[in-house]
Amino acid sequence: MVAQDANAYYKRGWLPIPLGFDARGFPKKPMDDGWTSLERRPEVIRGLRWADAKGLGLVLGPVSGNLAAVDVDDVDLAEAIYQRAKKTGVVTRMVRTIRKRLHLYVIEAVPSRSRRFDNVRWEGHSFTIELKAQGTQVAAPPTPGYELLFDGAPAKVPSIEAAWLSIAHALGVEMPAGEGGYPRPWQPAVPQGQRNGSAYIEAHKLREAGMPLDQALEVMRLRVEAFYAPGDMRIEEALATVRSAYRKGVVQRHKFLGGVPVDLGPGHGI
């Protein structure tokens, strides 16, 4: 990889790293030890092993401005998301991977840890979805085999999980219930790893029941304080997720792929 490729990503606020071949021969493996602890500084990037690189990766999370990526490990669903994006005018950054899957980039309001969903189903297929965020990296163009589909700025979302739930809802993707998938609404005790997803699902239930937004905000405030496990999720973030769920069908630019809305903020043309 040439220096100007890494420099271009640096100027966008992201941390590029050189990649080598993994065990399957794909240019996806970080070459430098300690890459998860690198700082995004010019001298750090220049000191990496670019001369021997077989690919270029982007470190996700706070070091890259809360950059995250939905990793869709199914060829047909990847193509369906791409075609839906073209139809609805979504301009968030998308990359077709070396195996013809998809990386869909977003910027999280608050960084989250990566999550993996197995046994996701769509159109008779069973596959894996990874929400790649803090502590991970993704191979990116000009890595051989990686094709830039949309070069728009990554959409700003409350969380990568909220963005993925929106896409899944829009395209009829079936997620496994419970742990690792859609949280069950109205659990008597919401565990730490399901706080954001539970708030999102429960807010939609209240909206579908016809509850006004101001009442839903109060209900969800009480639920989060009483029944949600304590953690990094502040009450303001939970209420922002509720407001996002209530925007369905109200303002077009707040929709993601034409389905359940996430608050993408101004300037994303959605």
Whether 269 shows a pLDDT value over 80: the answer reads no
Percent of the chain beyond pLDDT 70? 88
DSSP state of 144: T
**Residue 121: Cβ within 10 Å count:** 14
The secondary structure of 154-179 as a DSSP string is PEEES-HHHHHHHHHHHHTPBPPBST
**Banded model confidence at residue 178, pLDDT cuts 50, 70, 90:** low
Given this model, what pLDDT does residue 166 score?
80
Percent of the chain beyond pLDDT 90? 51
C-beta of residue 90 within 8 angstroms of C-beta of residue 139: no
Question: Lowest-pLDDT range, 21-35, 54-68, 184-198, 247-261?
Answer: 247-261
Please list, in sequence order, all residues whose beta carbon lies within 8 angstroms of the beta carbon of residue 234, skipping any fewer than 6 positions away: none
Given this model, what pLDDT does residue 240 score?
86
- Max avg pLDDT among 38-47, 158-167, 202-211: 38-47
Given this model, what pLDDT does residue 179 score?
42
Between 267 and 110, residue with greater pLDDT: 110
Between 18 and 206, residue with greater pLDDT: 18
Could you report the per-residue pLDDT of 53-69, keeping only the tens digit for each? Answer: 999 999 999 999 999 99
Judged on CB neighbours under 10 Å (0-12, 13-18, 19+), 231 is: exposed
Between 91 and 199, residue with greater pLDDT: 199
Question: Any alpha helices (H) in 29-117, and if so which ranges?
Answer: 42-46, 75-88
DSSP state of 268: S
Whether 122 shows a pLDDT value over 70: the answer reads yes
Given this model, what pLDDT does residue 38 score?
96
Given this model, what pLDDT does residue 250 score?
33
Given this model, what pLDDT does residue 244 score?
80
Helix (H, G, I), strand (E, B) or coil at 255: strand
Given this model, what pLDDT does residue 41 score?
96
Region of 211 (left: φ > 0; alpha: ψ -120 to 50; beta: rest) is beta
Mean of the pLDDT values across residues 66-86?
A: 96
266 vs 88: CA distance, rounded Å: 16
Mean pLDDT for the chain overall: 85
Question: Lowest-pLDDT range, 8-22, 82-96, 197-211?
Answer: 197-211
What pTM did the predictor assign? 0.72
**Banded model confidence at residue 177, pLDDT cuts 50, 70, 90:** low
Given this model, what pLDDT does residue 234 score?
79
Could you report the per-residue pLDDT of 204-263, keeping only the tens digit for each? Answer: 888 877 888 999 999 999 999 989 988 766 788 888 888 887 875 333 333 566 554 444
Whether 197 shows a pLDDT value over 60: the answer reads yes
Between 248 and 192, residue with greater pLDDT: 192
All structural domains of the chain with their residue ranges:
1-59
Please list, in sequence order, all residues whose beta carbon lies within 8 angstroms of the beta carbon of residue 264, skipping any fewer than 6 positions away: 92, 155, 156, 157, 253, 254, 256, 270
Helix (H, G, I), strand (E, B) or coil at 188: coil
